[in-house]
Structure 1
Amino acid sequence: MFDGEGFVLGLRRKGFNPQGTRALVVGSGGVGSAIAASLARRGSAP
């Protein structure tokens, strides 16, 4: 799950808060799934 958490951390460092947003994650491999899970934990919707 470090890939997803790293992605979200990068977003937050650039001033973007994913909470309350919608996200489109293209791909369902390991990294795509980790990013989708991390975004969902932060309050983003599919």
Structure 2
Amino acid sequence: MDFGPGYRVYYGRDGRNMILLLGGGSKRRQNADIAAAVTRWKRYKQTKR
């Protein structure tokens, strides 16, 4: 996926499915964006059960 220079999109893999974690952004916010993506991934896995 190409969303322009320096932008990131976070996703997880669930078997053959790609789960978009609805987050991403610039280099400046990278640490906060990663933390938010990790939280969303954990929440996804908990609700999937």
**TM-score w.r.t. length of structure 1:** 0.35
In terms of fraction of residues, the more helix-rich structure is 1
Q: Which has the larger radius of gyration?
A: 2
In terms of fraction of residues, the more strand-rich structure is 2
**Which structure's relative contact order is higher, taking Cα pairs within 8 Å and 6+ residues apart?**
1
**TM-score w.r.t. length of structure 2:** 0.33
